[in-house]
Structure formats: structure tokens, C-alpha cells
Structure 1
Amino acid sequence: NERNLIVGHLLAPEYKPKVVREVLLERGWEEYDEDEREEEDWNLYWRGSAFRTSEYHNLLPWQRLNHHPKTIGITRKDCLARNLRRMKATSGSSLYDFSPTAFILPNDYTRFLAEHNKLRLVRGPSTYWICKPVDLSRGRGIFIFKDIKDLVYDCSVIVQRYISNPLLISGYKFDLRIYVCVKSFHPLTVYIHQEGLVRFATEKYNLSSLHNLYAHLTNTSINKFGPFYKTEKGRVGQGCKWTMSKFRHFLYSQDINELLLWQRINNIVTLTLLTIAPSVPSCPNCVELFGFDILIDVKFKPWLLEVNYSPALTLDCQADIAVKKGLISDLIDLMNYTAVDGLRDRAYQKHKYKQPCVNTNYASHISIPALSQVKNPKFQRKSRDGKAQQTLTLPLCILIKCRGKKVGDFIRTFPFNTATLKASQHKLDVTIILQQLHKGHKQHI
């Protein structure tokens, strides 16, 4: 635990999310002061934007960065669409069926036009599309349309089939913000946080009013300015967010098989990361937090909407506070700071560290304990027919064979068995991993 450090130093010159600063100060850290410290005398460099390539070189043992290099392949909308399309073509559509059909315009305009016209002939005017600028966030520039004559854009955009049959709560659309930590790409090591956010639209879902963004978009940055943000909205309540814990209670109240849902979401996370994992350079002193946005339709099929780079850490409401402070604290635990890192000044003077950092962020061998070894597993209440349920409510330990290692509320979801462990230890063997995922997929469809 880094509480045993002499002190930890946060370096975040142009981006200081309040919650990160608060959590680290509570844990005894200090902000890096370049006037008082040596140039390399910092522990954690936190940025909202990407690091330069040179900043990944010559990291010292006590230093961590909060981004892996070259993850734009999943965090930019057009790159994600290309990579998912490529994997679907090479690995089969049965696994990569979790992303809506997408076209990158203007390059794919002819293909989009053909698909648009074909669907109109088959289904009539009941197919909807959503258009998003490829490199904007927070819902900016997004609109929904039916007829191609309504498609107007002045920059590179992605056009996707709009999931027009979303699961609703009290008539309101919502999506899930799932927090995923990639501790390492070499070997691939993935943790998913048990807590997350459920983000609601603030007006009731209505396909006859496509221009009403408060009914169709779930971005907090949009809905917090909506006219009904502070009003009571049926079961949703005030505001536009729930914690994931509250959502799990909702699922239970509806007799929904939550374990199967989380299994599918876990597969989405793993399959998405596999699209870039072989091409991400090894940088052992990096830990990355992604925000996966998942929409659930009325058939309880989860759909990947996008993957967020530097997911928002602002504290807009009580749900944010409940989720994000614990999330960041657990993320720091995953960084594996030790007392040696805290003695950096002494070590620097004694040993004159000048070499790039060795792999200190993960063990060379990852053990996967039996499920019975996970501390304090909780079980669901008795079902309505009086029979005891033996379904684990460790919500994101979502493959029955996961037997994941737990760090705070993070549960390791990859590797999830011996075969995937072996396939990720040296050079990542995507084929074997896909085979293992396909076995699980067939068991749960």
C-alpha cells in the first residue's frame, strides 16, 4: 500500500480532475512542484490528452503514466468502426455482432447509400440512423435521421444504425458507463470495476421526435441542461444518473438474469480490446482507464456504442461521488506502488537510476484463484418461489470460469482461464483467445 511511502507526487500540469487530486491527497500524496523537486522526481503523471511518444521512453521504476500508447484504435469512433469491421471479417460475425452497422463518411458514402436504400425496400421507413462526428465527445454534433436527404455534415462523421428498440425504465432511455482498466497489454490484463454509472435521457423516449436530444441522447453534458433534469421522473427520480448497484437492484426486481447480461458485456470488452492489443507497444509502467458505453435493447442484448479515452471524472451528482472516488482509489491500488517507490530520492542518489524502467507493474505469472477464494462473495436473496438462488452478485465477475483476482472493486476479467492465460503470457495468441470466447458464446446464446 502506498500509504507506507514517504510521499507520492502527482504530476498533472494541464489537467487536474478534482476527484483524482482529492483521492491522492487523502492518501497522503502531494502535487509535484517543479520549483522544489528534481525533474524526474514524480510518481504519477496524469493527463487527459495523449502523451508524446518520447514521454514513454526512459521511465524510472517509481513512475507511472495514466495512458498506454496508441489506443486511438478504439477510442476514436472511425478507428473503432474500422477495427471492429476488420475483426468481424477475419474472425466471424457471430462473436463481433455487438456493434451497430457503421459507415465512415465521406469515404463510405456509396456503401451507406446502398445499405440505406436496401433497408428501405425491405423494412420501409422504419430504419433509423445516428450521425456522429468522429473526433468529438459529450454528444456534440450528434443527430438522428430516417431519410438520407436529412443527412448533412461538414466534417468526417460516422453513421450507425440507430438502436431504435432500447430497454426503457419508466419510459426513459439509458446506457451504461462501464469502467475498464487495462493494467497491461503485454500480457493483456484487464479489470472491470463493479461500480459504474447508468446515464438517462431526461425526456421520455419518442421516435416521432428525433430532434429532441433530451429524449434520445444520454450524455450528462447535454441532459444536465434539460428542462426536466431536476424533476422527479417516474422510477428514474431526479437528475440523470444511477449507480450500477441501483441498476442491479432494478434487474433483480424484474427477474432478469443479470449474470448472463454481465457475461455478454465482459465479452464485448475483451473482444474490443483484442482489436488493438497486438499493435499496442509494450509500456509496463502504464495503466489506462477506459469508459465503455453500452446500450441494452428490449431483448437484453448489449450493444457497444463507443469507448471513451479519459472518461469524465467530474462530480456532477451524488452518483458520481459514490462511484468515482472509489474507482480512482482502486485504480491507484492497481498501480502497485511500493515503499521502494516512495524512497525514490534516496534510491536516485545511491544507485543513479538512468536506465528505462523494468517491468514492475505486473507479475510474470498470474495466478487465478478458485471462486471460493474470492473474499466475501455475496448471494442473491431467495427467489419468489422460495428456492435459494446460487447466482453470484459479484456483478462483473461475469464468466462462470472467470475466478478473477479482485483489487478493491476491480475484478480481473482477462485472462479468465488457463488457456487464455497461456495465450497472453508471451506473444498474444488472438486465435486461441477467440476460440475460448466462442466456446463461452455458444454456451450462453
Structure 2
Amino acid sequence: MTRHDRQYWMGGNRSYEQDRFFEESLDKSLWQKAEGPENWDACWYTGMPDPEFFSQVGPERKINHIPGNNALTVKSRLYRSLMDLRDRVERQEKGGKHLTDRLAFVPKVFSMPEDYHAFQQAALDNPDKRWLLKPKNAARGKGIQLVGDPADVPMESSWMVQEYLENPHTMHGRKYVLRLYVLVSSVSPFRVYLYHQGFAKLASMPYDEENANNPYSYLTNPDVNALNLDADVPVEFVDFERYRAWLREQGHDDEALFAKIEDMVALTCLAALEPMRERSRVIGADTRGCYELMGIDCLIDADIKPWILECNLSPSLEVCAGPESGGDIEERIKGSIVADMVEMLGLNRPAHKESSGSMVEQLVRETQAEMASSGGFRNLIPGSDPSAYLPFMTLPRLSDWVVAQALSDRPLKPPRLERWVAEETFSEDQVYLYDTRLGHLSSLNETASLIWLMATEGAGPDDIASALVESALKSMPTAPDAWAIRNDVWNTLADWVNNRFLVQSEGPSANGDALESGQPPFPETSTMMSMALSCGRFQARFFTDSAPLVNRIESLLEPMAISDEAGKDSLPRLEIVRDTPGFTLILDGQVIRSRLSLAAVVPALASCLATHSARHDDIAIDAGLVAGSDGEMFLVSHSEPSMRDALTLALSTQWRMDCGRGALLKSTDGSCVTGLGLPLHNSDGDDVFTPSKAGIAGFAGRVNAVLVPSDESLGDGGLQPLPVNESLRHLISSCCGEDGRPLDTDGFARLADWLEGRERYLVDMNNLEAAAAALSGRCFEKAPQKASGGR
């Protein structure tokens, strides 16, 4: 571009005092003011602009905000972001503390309304503790007040309660908060700076525990204290140079304090890194054109420990203090902050030209050039020790990694990953990932499957990328783009870590001993129960890790259990996993049923087994079976759900015969049926089940009669013969073919022919003794066919 061709625009909830330092810092020979928001090369916006402002940003068109910054700048989100970071790091360390302890710098926050009861309990447990009530999205101290009676805290979603930090460090008897100026100049690679100057903002009244309800005593916001007409100096700012000199005079180590502050600021910004990257991706923002200048407020307690209080979007650049109370110094510092920022971002240099060299060389050169022109900004990330903050990232992106490697004075250990909340299943060389928190199942393509398997076996991202490049070299006519492949691998793994499918491994293996903290490692699905099952022609290995479910289901599955140690790994995988909410039933990576209550698991599992029991031309029948030792059998229809398995259980008791549920009419066994051994539904309750008798699963014999229970009176004998068509009407809805499909024409005809050769009766459920006696006389006197087979 030629001189004067670049335009800047200033907008938002603004005043000229808020904008003037930015305007004054621009080289007037390169920049001219835009007439409106339509065309600009640099946008300075007070507050957060609408998403469309980010549609055209890039290396040559910059805006002073990053999408997703509300992960820091909304008070309740700041706490949640830091707690999410702490949870992940705690999981990485597996009981270690050297990383987790560095994150203990934010007071407890309760967000309304979801934390209302938790706050009430905390207030009850700590009657002497004080709390601050704050609007979630306000600034300049508006609406902040000490909580009097916790019962009066509003439940509306616009409020939060923050733990009040007792025993603050005081300066000249007054409470103070440090205002820190923090710049995120780049999201990828991530670069964070802290300005060497800032302010101690003092309250306008002496701090007094007995008078802490006085806002001029416990609040340090200039807008609040400016209203204190009784103070000689209502708004007073002390710059860091004088503040640090005063600390040393008091015998404190200012270097140690500011080292803690720098670490705290870097970690706070890291907590929002993934939300900023994700929001930028969603709205299509090129983050090379985004930067963020924030004001972070930090309280120092009596032990000289820093605490993060809040992070402010578009920090005030107006001069608040009068000349006699630091106003001149305030103006000089705020002006230099913006001027150094403009210089570091290259806004006053000629328009960007394409860089030469590899992508690694370009990234490293760009980072080094920015750090060399940073003025009063001190670089925190990547910083003097680029390895220090890599473990706090969900996973470094490739740009973070290559910059850290280039700037480090020693080789960096590649990150290693392990499973967190994802379980993988396999089917036909494809990997399926199941999110055990959310109940989501996703399939991976061939490349993603390889990345997942190598990562979970301990390979680092670059090792995986090298394997993919080598494979591509063998299959592609031209050399692949190695950087693109590396970048895809790092991004894929980072997305999985961000979703908590994986986590960086900082401590012992996830499959090792329990955590030192006393928490068990994330349970594998086979921890509690693993059993090989046979149901008709279907066999599978069943898994679940829920103790309440094992207690409920183990005896019900025992009749179908088989010994298959030699071939257990080749069986289909049938599992029930804990979900939110309830349970999910999965067969070979495919979700069969989800959102199951504990009571609904047994019927769902029984239905799954029954519908998979048939092969080819078999007919699976969901019906009761009563079987004698000589092979005589009775099939009991379930066409009346209200009666459940009452007739099957009653006849089993009357005749002292075995019973079970489910029958398979095999295409190869003529008229014989084979028991499936599914649990019976007891009439005592909706979720009460009885296991099939041992041996009924796999037992084969000839059915003497097909019985249909009825609640209508059928006379003294308790029985009424049924024609074939009426029997079909009761039975057909309980029949299926292979994979649970309805019977086709041939299957229907075969079932009708089979019924033609059986006795068929309605059974009076109100006259069971007579019906049982009549059935004994009619069916048992006929010589039954011997069993044709067994298990």
C-alpha cells in the first residue's frame, strides 16, 4: 500500500479519552481516519464488537479483540475456565501437586442459579466467612456489595457470589488492588505479554475489619471511590516502580512477588486459549488479525500472595487520578502501553509481505521479531523457558511446539497422551469412540483411527505424523505436504484432548496404581464384569463397569453364560456403559439403546439378545418356555403384556418343570425349538425379573402345545382350543428373523406350518389349576419326542 492508504476506525461504547492514545500512537504518514466502520485496516473497538467485524481480519487487517475472550472477561466464566484448567491438570498429575498448586490463585465463585444451593451450604458451613455479591457482566465496581444475609442472595442468572478474601495487604493503611496490563498478541502460536508498569489502586478510606461494609474501605475501583466526598484524595494510583520500592522498604521480596504474578497471569490466559481458538473457528476469524489488551485486577493478601479477582475487557485508558495523586504518571504509563503495543504489532511498519523460508522458519522469525520490539511488554509465553507452560495447554498446537523447540535451550520432551473419558470399540478395522460422559458415539476414518491407536499406545504427535508421511510417500505419485500432515495430527490430537477423550500424561500410566490423592483411575468398561454369553446362534462378550447394574443383572445372565476363554477376543463386544443420563447399550461400536434407566436395562438387553439370536432362515420367538426332563415343552405367548410371564412361571411351579424365556425355531431342526435362556418378567413389579432355570438355554425339544393366556372366563376346564390363524395373531408380533427383521413370506408360511402341528389353547388365568390339570391330561399322555440336542 502507498502512504495514507491505510485507514483506522474507532468504535464501540467509547469516549475520546478511551481512544486517544491509540490514535496518537499511529504514524500519521501511514494512517488516515476512516469515515465509517465499513472500510478499515485497523479497528480499535471499546467493548466487544459483533461477530461480523471478524469476517475480514487477517495479517494486514487487525482488530483489538479475540473471539471467545469472554472465557476470561465475564467474571463467572473466568472462575469456570480456571477450574476446568485445574481439573485437567489435576488429572494429568494423578496426585502430584507441582503443577496443580500453581493454579491456587482464584477465590471461590458461585454462579447463580445453578450454584445457589451450593452457596447456601458453604455459607452455613462457614458462618464467619464474608462474601461479595457481583453482577456477572458489569465493570468499574458497579453493583458490587458485601452479602449481609446469605438467604437474601438473588437467584437470577445475572449474579454471582465470590469469596471475600480476608486480611488484605494494605498500603498506608488502605486496601489496594494491582491493575496489570496484559496483551495476547497471537493465538497460534500463543503469545502473552505483561506490561512492566501498572498501578496499585487504593481505596479512599483506611481498611477496618469492623467497618468493612463501607464500600470506600473494601472497594478499590476508581469510579466508586471518586464519589467519596470526605476523602482528601479519593482516587489514588501508585505506579509499579514506586510500589515495588515501597515493598522493599517494608522488607518484602518484590522480585518473588512479581514472579508469582507473571506465572499467575500466564496461567490465567492459558485457561481461555481453547475457548478463543474454538470461537474464532466457529465464526471464521483469522486469528492472525486479532489481539487483546486486558486489565487484570490482582489482590495481594497479608502473606504477600497474589490472587486474581477479575479480568477486564477494554480496560480503562482514561486518566482517573488527579495530578496530585499520580495522574501525570497514570497518563504517561497508559500512553506508553498503547504506543508499545502498536509498535510491537507492527501497525506502524509497511504492510505485511510474504515471508520466505519454511513454515517453521516463518513462525520462529515472526515470534523473535515481535519479542525484540516489545518495548515495555515482558513476554510470558513462550517466555524464557518455553517448556514451562506446554503442560498447561490442552495440547500444544504445532505452531506452539515448533516455536517452543526453537527458543528452548534444551531438547523438549514430546507430549504423551492417554485415554480420559473415551472408550474405543472396533468393527471391521474401524475405530469407534464413545464419550462416557455425554453418551456420544463417533466413528473414525482410517487416518484418524491410526492416529488414535498410535497415540494411545504412547507415540508422540511427530512420531505419528512421520508414520503418515512415510505411508503417503509409498502411495502417492508426488511428495506429500509434510507440514500439513504434521499440523493435522497435532490439531486432531488437541481436539480430542479438548473434548477430554485424551489427556496429556504427566504422571504414572493411567493403567497403573490408584492415584496418590485417593481417587481411582478412570474405570475401564471391563473392570466390574466380563462374561461370554450364548443366545441361540448369537454369541458375544458382555461388559459393564456399573456395580449397581452388575448386582441387578449378573444372576439373570448366568443361564446364558458360556466358557469361551480361548476365543473371547474374537467375539462381538456387547457392553452397557454409564452415561449422562442413565446407561447406553452398545454392540460392536453401534449404539442400540441410550438414556436407559437402571430398570430399563434388562428389557433392552433381553430384546437385543433375542433379536440377534436368529441366523439365515431361523425364527426367533420372544415367548415363555416350560420344559420337562423328557423333552416335552410348552410355548407361552406374550401377546398380553399386562400378564407378563405369569403363566410360564405358574405352570413351571405346578408341574415342577424348568422354565425360561425365548425360543429359536431353527431352519435346520425341523419342528424342534431351542431355549434362549432370557430372564422372565415377574408379575410382582415392572422391573422385577427371574432368571431362566439353569440348562434351559440351548435345551432343544418338541413343543407339545402353544398357550395364550387370557383374563376371560373359559369355563370349568380353563382351556379353549385356538385355530392356527388366531394363534398366529397372538404370536407373530413376537417373532423375527435374522438381525431382528420381521418375517418374510417364507418365514410366515413356515411358522404357520409349524403351528399346524402343535396343540393350541387359550388358558384361563383365573382358573389356572383346572387349566394345568387339563393340559396335563391332554398333552402329557401323548408320547413326546425325545430331545434332539443340547447345549
Instruction: Give the TM-score range, shorter chain.
Output: 0.7 to 0.9
Which deviates more, 294-303 or 108-117? Answer: 108-117
Name the structure 1 match of 2:549: none
Residue 339 to residue 276, structure 1, CA distance change in 2 (3 Å): closer
Q: Whose strand fraction is larger, Structure 1's or Structure 2's? A: 2
Give, in whole Å, the separation in 1 of the partners of 2:349 and 2:318.
Answer: 30
Name the structure 2 match of 1:72: 70
**What pairs with 1:330-369 in structure 2 (closer than 5 Å)?**
330-337=340-347, 339-341=349-351, 364-365=363-364
Residue 153 to residue 136, structure 1, CA distance change in 2 (3 Å): farther
Q: 1:176 aligns with which of 171, 175, 178?
A: 178
Name the structure 1 match of 2:387: 419
**What pairs with 1:145-160 in structure 2 (closer than 5 Å)?**
145=147, 147-149=149-151, 151-152=153-154, 156-160=158-162
Residue 216 to residue 5, structure 1, CA distance change in 2 (3 Å): farther
Give, in whole Å, the separation in 1 of the partners of 2:187 and 2:505.
Answer: 14
Q: What TM-score results when the alignment is normalised by the length of structure 1?
A: 0.74
Give, in whole Å, the separation in 1 of the partners of 2:312 and 2:505.
Answer: 24
Equivalent position amino acid for 1:11 in 2: W
Q: Does 1:133 align with 2:141?
A: no
Equivalent position amino acid for 1:25 in 2: E
Give, in whole Å, the separation in 2 of the partners of 1:312 and 1:301.
Answer: 25
Secondary structure of residue in 2 paired with 1:89: helix
Give, in whole Å, the separation in 1 of the partners of 2:193 and 2:505.
Answer: 17
Secondary structure of residue in 1 paired with 2:207: coil
Question: Per-residue CA shift, 1:169-206, capped at 9, x if unaligned?
Answer: 12100000100000011111001100111101000112
Give, in whole Å, the separation in 2 of the partners of 1:22 and 1:186.
Answer: 27
Secondary structure of residue in 2 paired with 1:298: coil
Residue 60 to residue 76, structure 1, CA distance change in 2 (3 Å): closer
Q: Does 1:407 align with 2:409?
A: no
Question: Per-residue CA shift, 1:16-62, capped at 9, x if unaligned?
Answer: 54264245336433552428xx953x331111121222221233653
Give, in whole Å, the separation in 2 of the partners of 1:131 and 1:269.
Answer: 24
Deviation at 1:94, TM superposition (A): 1.8
Equivalent position amino acid for 1:419 in 2: S
Give, in whole Å, the separation in 2 of the partners of 1:411 and 1:152.
Answer: 41
Q: What TM-score results when the alignment is normalised by the length of structure 2?
A: 0.43
Residue 25 to residue 83, structure 1, CA distance change in 2 (3 Å): closer
Q: Is the 8 A contact 1:17 1:313 kept in 2?
A: no
Secondary structure of residue in 2 paired with 1:131: strand
Deviation at 1:220, TM superposition (A): 0.4
Q: Is the 8 A contact 2:169 2:175 kept in 1?
A: yes
Name the structure 2 match of 1:116: 123
Give, in whole Å, the separation in 2 of the partners of 1:116 and 1:152.
Answer: 14
Deviation at 1:366, TM superposition (A): 5.8
Equivalent position amino acid for 2:43 in 1: Y
Q: 1:187 aligns with which of 186, 189, 207?
A: 189
Equivalenced residue count is 368
Question: Per-residue CA shift, 1:361-382, capped at 9, x if unaligned?
Answer: x95016998xxxxxxxxxxxxx
Q: 1:308 aligns with which of 296, 299, 312?
A: 312
Q: Is the 8 A contact 1:224 1:240 kept in 2?
A: no
Q: Is the 8 A contact 2:62 2:290 kept in 1?
A: yes
Name the structure 2 match of 1:354: none
Equivalent position amino acid for 2:35 in 1: E
Secondary structure of residue in 2 paired with 1:112: helix
Name the structure 1 match of 2:720: none
Give, in whole Å, the separation in 2 of the partners of 1:433 and 1:252.
Answer: 41
Residue 78 to residue 91, structure 1, CA distance change in 2 (3 Å): same
Which deviates more, 206-215 or 108-117? Answer: 206-215
Equivalent position amino acid for 1:415 in 2: P
**What pairs with 1:243-258 in structure 2 (closer than 5 Å)?**
243-258=239-254
Q: 2:268 aligns with which of 259, 262, 272?
A: 272
**What pairs with 1:2-401 in structure 2 (closer than 5 Å)?**
6=4, 8-14=6-12, 15-18=14-17, 20-22=19-21, 24-25=23-24, 27-29=26-28, 31-34=32-35, 39-40=38-39, 42-59=40-57, 61-92=59-90, 93-120=100-127, 125=128, 127-145=129-147, 147-149=149-151, 151-152=153-154, 156-231=158-233, 239-280=235-276, 281=280, 283-317=287-321, 318=327, 319-337=329-347, 339-341=349-351, 364-365=363-364
Which deviates more, 211-220 or 110-119? Answer: 110-119
Give, in whole Å, the separation in 1 of the partners of 2:379 and 2:199.
Answer: 19
Residue 18 to residue 5, structure 1, CA distance change in 2 (3 Å): farther
Question: Per-residue CA shift, 1:200-255, capped at 9, x if unaligned?
Answer: 10001122223310001000011112124434xxxxxx732111111111112122
Give, in whole Å, the separation in 2 of the partners of 1:222 and 1:421.
Answer: 37
Residue 130 to residue 66, structure 1, CA distance change in 2 (3 Å): same
Q: Which consecutive residues of structure 1, in runs of 5 or more, have no partner in the other structure?
A: 232-237, 348-359, 370-403, 436-445
Secondary structure of residue in 1 paired with 2:134: strand
Q: Which consecutive residues of structure 2, in runs of 5 or more, have no partner in the other structure?
A: 91-99, 281-285, 322-326, 354-358, 391-395, 401-489, 498-502, 508-791
Q: Is the 8 A contact 2:180 2:295 kept in 1?
A: yes
Name the structure 2 match of 1:396: none
Name the structure 2 match of 1:382: none
Residue 90 to residue 22, structure 1, CA distance change in 2 (3 Å): closer
Residue 330 to residue 8, structure 1, CA distance change in 2 (3 Å): farther
Q: Is the 8 A contact 2:22 2:44 kept in 1?
A: no
Residue 22 to residue 275, structure 1, CA distance change in 2 (3 Å): closer
Question: Per-residue CA shift, 1:126-148, capped at 9, x if unaligned?
Answer: x1111101111111111113542
Q: RMSD across aligned C-alpha pairs, in angstroms?
A: 3.2
Which deviates more, 425-434 or 248-257? Answer: 425-434
Deviation at 1:419, TM superposition (A): 2.5
Deviation at 1:341, TM superposition (A): 2.5
Give, in whole Å, the separation in 2 of the partners of 1:283 and 1:433.
Answer: 29
Give, in whole Å, the separation in 2 of the partners of 1:186 and 1:406.
Answer: 19
Q: Is the 8 A contact 2:174 2:204 kept in 1?
A: yes
Residue 63 to residue 157, structure 1, CA distance change in 2 (3 Å): same
Residue 77 to residue 332, structure 1, CA distance change in 2 (3 Å): same
Residue 50 to residue 12, structure 1, CA distance change in 2 (3 Å): same
Greater relative contact order: 1 or 2 (C-alpha under 8 angstroms, separation 6 or more)?
1
Question: Per-residue CA shift, 1:2-22, capped at 9, x if unaligned?
Answer: 9x9657532014435426424
